[in-house]
């Protein structure tokens, strides 16, 4: 797309897409092939020579190393992030783990913030440690602790913005400056924000990670992960991905492209609904606290205002009472489904204490910041007034 200043809705439909497509089709073709052929030996040798020089663009010999439909989706996401490259993987966790493994090695060290996705922290603290890569966890938003945790062996600073489930927002400019000062690569997961609400690369962050399963796909019908940034780093990720094989299938890439075309419309609606629902909950007598960066009461509101276009569709809140009271609210709503994940067109609701931390005792959950009365709600595209009315009747059950 020539006009880089086009609006978000226009960019989600056209950015990174080729005007001329095979067979004059309007939509991308699903190239359902695991292997690719060559005309003759000379054709194969020419390809191998070009590949050795990094010039075999648009051509692969095997599906683990690339696919035209996946490449089309990568091009679109790179354009939305204003990144020079994007690597798509089979899931958000695949994107995270392959990136960490590609950039770390025995004897190196990683620093991660505490309110990051639970599985990401588990991977850093347990799996990487088995291979001689220690991990230090620091509080999200404590930049003195972040800088103090950096060692000579530190290679990566990892965080999310907004985080899960308290939607803490990282000062990306400061985070990036700390990384550059210590010559440490910075990675930010912006699954909750999407490229429409936040672009970390503009603040000097090295790599951006997304669980494309969420808002980017937007319909709860695919799993995908994305890593966006400069080609020097994404090239390392792509190389390891080809070895590990956690690749995205072409049909999933097709669904992702379809989802991206409505991203602008969906995010606009979810930003609006998220703000209104958060404001309603903040005034409700049966709600103790609301975690939403669009509220002045949120500890990172000023940072979010400076960095974000909108604040997203995830609202976390603490009801008055305990685990059973929160369960009563969750069981009483009529519109949301009780389910994990987020970012789709349907509103979802869950208690993190039960959905993600069920195996832990209450004291253990509290030690990692998860309260029994906490509810996380991912707002879909239903009518906002209907969602608020539904919440109102459910909260009356406490």
Q: Are strands 374-378 and 314-319 parallel, antiparallel or unpaired?
A: antiparallel
189 among known catalytic residues: yes
85 among known catalytic residues: no
Q: What is the largest CA-CA distance in the chain?
A: 75
Residues ≥6 apart with Cβ < 8 Å to 160: 113, 115, 116, 117, 170, 188, 189, 190, 191, 192
Given 64, 174, 276, 320, which residue is catalytic? 64
Given 85, 115, 117, 390, which residue is catalytic? 117
Signed CA dihedral, 235, 239, 241, 242: sign only: positive
Given 214, 289, 365, 376, which residue is catalytic? 214
Eight-state DSSP code of residue 148: H
Strands (E), 99-153: 109-113, 135-138
Residues 110, 151: Cα–Cα separation, whole Å = 9
Residues 60, 74: Cα–Cα separation, whole Å = 15
Cα 126 to Cα 30, 70, 84, 131, 306: the distances in Å are: 38, 32, 32, 9, 35
Tokens of 147: 């800088």
Tokens of 236: 């390392």
Eight-state DSSP code of residue 35: B
Q: Which residue has the tokens 């809140």?
A: 317
Contact predicate 313/297, CB 8 Å: no
Q: Residue 349: CA atoms inside 13 Å, Cβ hemisphere, count?
A: 20
Q: Dihedral angle at the C-alpha atoms of 256, 172, 294, 346, nearest 10 degrees?
A: 20
Signed CA dihedral, 12, 384, 334, 288: sign only: positive
Signed CA dihedral, 8, 13, 14, 18: sign only: positive
What pairs with residue 180 in β-bridges?
none
21 among known catalytic residues: no
Given 189, 300, 325, 372, which residue is catalytic? 189
166 among known catalytic residues: no
Eight-state DSSP code of residue 345: S
Task: Give the orientation angle of helix 250-261 with respect to helix 263-283, to 10 degrees.
Answer: 70
Residues 99, 244: Cα–Cα separation, whole Å = 11
Enzyme catalytic residues: 64, 117, 189, 214
């Amino acid at each position: 797309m020539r006009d880089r200043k086009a609006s978000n809705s226009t960019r989600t439909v056209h950015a990174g897409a080729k005007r001329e497509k095979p067979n004059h089709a309007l939509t991308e073709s699903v190239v359902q092939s695991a292997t690719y052929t060559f005309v003759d030996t000379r054709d194969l040798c020419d390809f191998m020579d070009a590949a050795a020089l990094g010039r075999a663009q648009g051509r692969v010999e095997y599906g683990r190393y690339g696919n035209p439909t996946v490449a089309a989706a990568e091009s679109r996401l790179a354009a939305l992030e204003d990144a020079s490259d994007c690597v798509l993987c089979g899931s958000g966790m695949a994107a995270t783990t392959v990136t960490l493994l590609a950039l770390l090695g025995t004897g190196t060290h990683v620093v991660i913030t505490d309110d990051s996705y639970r599985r990401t922290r588990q991977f850093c603290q347990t799996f990487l440690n088995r291979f001689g890569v220690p991990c230090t966890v620091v509080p999200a938003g404590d930049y003195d602790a972040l800088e103090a945790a950096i060692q000579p062996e530190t290679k990566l600073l990892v965080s999310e913005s907004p985080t899960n489930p308290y939607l803490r927002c990282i000062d990306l400019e400061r985070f990036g400056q700390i990384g550059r000062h210590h010559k440490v690569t910075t990675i930010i997961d912006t699954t909750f924000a999407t490229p429409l609400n936040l672009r970390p690369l503009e603040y000097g962050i090295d790599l951006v990670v997304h669980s494309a399963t969420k808002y980017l796909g937007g319909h709860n019908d695919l799993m995908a992960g994305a890593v966006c940034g400069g080609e020097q780093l994404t090239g390392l990720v792509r190389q390891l991905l080809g070895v590990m094989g956690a690749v995205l299938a072409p049909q999933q890439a097709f669904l992702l492209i379809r989802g991206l075309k409505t991203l602008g419309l969906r995010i606009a609606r979810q930003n609006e609904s998220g703000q209104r629902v958060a404001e309603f909950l903040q005034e409700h007598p049966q709600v103790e606290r609301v975690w939403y960066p669009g509220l002045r009461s949120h500890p990172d509101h000023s940072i979010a205002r400076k960095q974000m276009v909108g604040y997203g569709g995830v609202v976390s809140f603490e009801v008055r009472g305990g685990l059973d009271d929160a369960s009563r609210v969750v069981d009483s709503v009529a519109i949301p489904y009780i389910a994990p994940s987020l970012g789709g067109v349907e509103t979802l609701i869950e208690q993190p204490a039960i959905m993600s931390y069920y195996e832990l005792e209450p004291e253990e959950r509290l030690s990692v910041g998860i309260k029994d009365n906490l509810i996380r709600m991912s707002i879909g595209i239903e009518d906002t007034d209907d969602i608020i009315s539904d919440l109102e009747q459910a909260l009356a059950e406490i």
